[in-house]
Structure 1
Amino acid sequence: MITLDDIRRYVAAFPEVEEVTHFRMPSFKVSGKPFAGAEKGATTAVFSVSQQEAATAVADDPTTYEEVWRTAGRRSFVGLRVDLTKVAEDRVKELVEHAWRNKAPKRVVAAYDAG
């Protein structure tokens, strides 16, 4: 099973990441924007990937993935919930990178890619 410490290690590979607490659970932000976070006793995590990527993941494996929507006020897409007991390490690394790229400022992504 992927652990919170594993996710911490994966996000540490990217610039301008900070760990904060959100509803008493660890959350990771890039330039002030959340892109990944643990929930439910750290057995699931939410990654801020594109809506299209989330829909594809859910269609491919609905027992491991679930789309997350904010319903308070106006309905809006949040990200992809992942059951960390059912997902491979390489896939979580990929989701961390996709979520980071989705939320990081373009200049930060460009500097990372150039370096």
Structure 2
Amino acid sequence: MGTTAEDARRIALALPETAEKLAWGMPTFRVKGKIFASLADDDASIGVKCPIDDREELIASEPEKFFLRGGHDENFPWLRVRLAALDDAEELAAILLDAWRLTAPRRLAEAYAAEGEETPTT
């Protein structure tokens, strides 16, 4: 069980028009130039785009998986995910797809959904 930084990289880069770019000394994953995920420098967690209104419930329901980095994350629509705590690559793929959808231009997200939107786990 659990996932790794390599799983996150593989899944993120399988999403349409996604690229990896180093920023702040960490790998970030971008769709059309906008960041939707960022690996922590220790590869133990990943930050993902998440509506601020949804974070509290996610953290309360599964604090072993979800957290905020003190101070910095509180004002931004981001959530931290402990990779080793996830059930499997399928759960990680669903989280990354949600973050990608929140960030991707509407037309790209709609086109991906129209194609059948399979969650990239392989």
TM-score range, shorter chain: 0.7 to 0.9
Partner of 1:82: 81
Contact between 2:67 and 2:81, CA under 8 Å: does it hold in 1?
Answer: yes
Say if 1:58 and 1:66, in contact at 8 Å, map to a contact too. Answer: yes
CA distance in structure 2 between the aligned counterparts of 1:39 and 1:78, rounded to whole angstroms: 16
Structure 2 gap ranges (5+): 116-122
| Equivalent residue letter for 2:80 | R
Deviation at 1:76, TM superposition (A): 2.2
SS of match in other structure, 2:68? strand
1:52-75 CA distances to partner (integer Å, 9 max, x unpaired)? 33222101022321135637xxx6
Matches of 2:91 and 2:76 in 1, distance apart?
A: 21
| d(CA) in 2 for partners of 1:25, 1:67 | 17
* Aligned position for 1:8: 9
Aligned equivalent of 2:106: 106
Q: Distance in 2 between matches of 1:25 and 1:86?
A: 21
Which residue is 1:39 aligned to? 40
Aligned length: 112
Judge conservation of contact 2:5–2:83 (CA < 8 Å) in 1. no
TM-score after normalising by structure 1 = 0.85
Q: Residue 92 of structure 1 aligns to which amino acid in structure 2?
A: L
**Residue 36 of structure 1 aligns to a residue in which SS?**
strand
CA distance in 2, matches of 1:43, 1:28: 16
TM-score, normalised to structure 2, is 0.81
% identity of equivalent residues: 29
Residue deviations 1:60-110, cap 9 Å, x none?
022321135637xxx622311011121122221111000000000101101
Gaps of 5+ in 1: none
Give the distance between the partners of 1:99 and 1:54, measured in 2 at CA: 13
CA distance in 1, matches of 2:85, 2:72: 24
* Cα distance in structure 1, aligned partners of 2:77 and 2:52: 8
Compute the RMSD of aligned alpha carbons.
1.8
- Stretch deviating more after TM superposition (104-113 or 57-66): 57-66
Q: Is the 8 A contact 2:55 2:79 kept in 1?
A: yes
